Amino acid sequence: MKTDLSKYDNAWYNPGAGIIKRSLWFATNIIFFKTGWAWPSAVKRGLLRLYGAKIGKQVVIKPSVNIKYAWNLDVGDHAWIGEQTWIDNLGSVSIGAHACISQGALLLCGNHDYTIETFDLIVKDITLEEGVWIGAKAVIVPGTRARSHAVVAAGSVAGGELKAYSIYRGNPAVEVKGRV
């Protein structure tokens, strides 16, 4: 099947906010989140809430984090989001309490259907339950659900249903052992 991008149309996709709110968010994201400047996490939590994110108590957000749409983000108490994390949340991303997203992790809610010529956009939510640890430079693909305290090792590419208290490694990530 050949791809014909002249036929691509994602007009059905609704980002959940109008152009003014999206534009204001993009500017806020650049100034306060994507920057290497170490704005306090309390400032970042307040800004995310202002744009409609559900943010728990004492969430830590390191510098150089990129969040596509604040209003599609739900983060539980005491979660950590590491440097250079990219949350490409075209859909909903839910990060449970005490979860840790390590440096350079990529959470992707969107993909494309390469099996049809129009290369249609596919959007699926991501859920990372309580205590999940996403290792540095790991990639979490659309539709992933990581159950309580699952671990995705550094540099791994994980998707689907990840069992609770299990450790996943590789590309594609496979369960390698239980988490003690």
Half-sphere exposure (Cβ direction) of 37: Cα atoms closer than 13 Å: 9
> Does the pLDDT of residue 180 top 90, yes or no?
no
Tens-place pLDDT, residues 121-159: 999 999 999 999 999 999 999 999 999 999 999 999 999
> Does the pLDDT of residue 1 top 90, yes or no?
no
CATH superfamily of 16-178: Hexapeptide repeat proteins (2.160.10.10)
Tens-place pLDDT, residues 15-28: 999 999 999 999 99
Tens-place pLDDT, residues 73-113: 999 999 999 999 999 999 999 999 999 999 999 999 999 99
CB-based burial label for 145 (10 Å; 0-12, 13-18, 19+): middle
Tens-place pLDDT, residues 31-61: 999 999 999 999 999 999 999 999 999 999 9
Going by C-beta distance under 8 Å and a sequence separation of 6 or more, which residues neighbour residue 14? none
Q: What is the per-residue pLDDT for 72?
A: 98
Q: What is the per-residue pLDDT for 5?
A: 96
